[in-house]
Amino acid sequence: MVTASAPGKVYLFGEHAVVYGEPAVPCAVELRASVTVRRRESGLRVQAGDLTLEEFTVEYDGEESGRPDVDVPDTLVEAGMGYINEAVTQAKDAAGVDCGFDIEIESEIPLGAGLGSSAAVAVATIDAATRELGVELSREELAERAYQVEYEVQNGEASRADTYCCTMGGAVRVEGDDCQPIEAPDLPFVIGYDGGAGDTGALVSGVRELRSEYDFAADTISAIGDLVRRGEQALAAGDIDEIGKLMDFNHGLLSALGVSSRSLDAMVWAARDANALGAKLTGAGGGGCIVALDQTRETETALQFTPGCEETFRAGLSTTGVTHEAE
């Protein structure tokens, strides 16, 4: 039996634009998904729970999965099981072994909230399953295989950003197929969560339609790329004030692309009114989380009293990516 864990992430800059080859800078945060894998003869038995779900168990033979009785949208459950199925397929392919697994998932990362839950689970599942089968993947291959999981489940709309960040930890820069860790100062992240989740596939498709229909939408995506490049300079200089200003700008551009929501905007403005250095949605949007920079407690307090904000917490930059332990 092997247990592996991987961190979630926030986007400092660049979500959505990264799908079109523009750079993005995600940062791993100290919220983790832990996956325990034990080999069995055949089939899969998955026991899962996180801070947004009551624990559930589903057992199936890989050809027909049962729908667990949990109070979340079908699209999230189907996607969640899809990530596990594809991660298992990648692990068995890497090891050249055909078998089944008992899988137990415990996650601190809200499902579908833009904090990299699916990427963290994919990375941790592949790492734990391959190690259970006696194979140790390099971090580069692990990140690539986890990306293939997201690419398959998200119908070709995924980028390498989430899975690379969750594998490596810290701050990373992703532009197309080029992924690399970068230096970053200690960033005082505050996260606000509205209790909901956006439909990543639908939101990415919506941006694609806008980009195809309107030249200015394509220009907006290019502008996000330019903003990310400016943000890299601020990171290298450790200029947190400038990083915050660029986060504010990035949120405005994402709103123009139609991926924000009333609750996300309310949380962003509450953070700004509390003198946060910057605030923006993180992830696909449509609901979920915002990330703000604030060394004081003012943003946390303001978010706690913001209608539509269900939970507020700090999550420091995680310099540790995927880790494992064997029993």
Contact 131, 92 (CB under 8 A): no
Question: How many residues in total does the chain contain?
Answer: 327
Tokens of 286: 């449509």
Biggest alpha carbon distance in the chain? 57
One-letter-per-residue 3-state SS of 127-170: HHHHHHCCCCCCHHHHHHHHHHHHHHHCCCCCCCHHHHHHHHCC
Catalytic choice (50, 162, 199, 294):
162
Measured CA to CA, the distance from residue 214 to residue 84 in angstroms comes to: 37
Query: Phi/psi of residue 140, each to 5°?
Result: -65, -45
Tokens of 251: 């949120």
* Cα Rg, the chain, nearest whole Å: 19
Cα(first)–Cα(last) distance of the chain, in Å?
6
Q: Is 162 annotated as catalytic? A: yes
**DSSP H helix total and E strand total for the chain:** 9, 12
Contact 306, 270 (CB under 8 A): yes
Q: What are the helix (H) ranges across 214-291? A: 215-237, 240-256, 262-273
Query: Phi/psi of residue 141, each to 5°?
Result: -70, -35
Query: Phi/psi of residue 69, each to 5°?
Result: -85, 80
CA distances from 98 to 39, 101, 131, 284, 326 (A): 10, 10, 14, 35, 21
- Which neighbouring-strand residues pair with 317? 29
Residue type, 186: D
Catalogue the active-site residues.
162
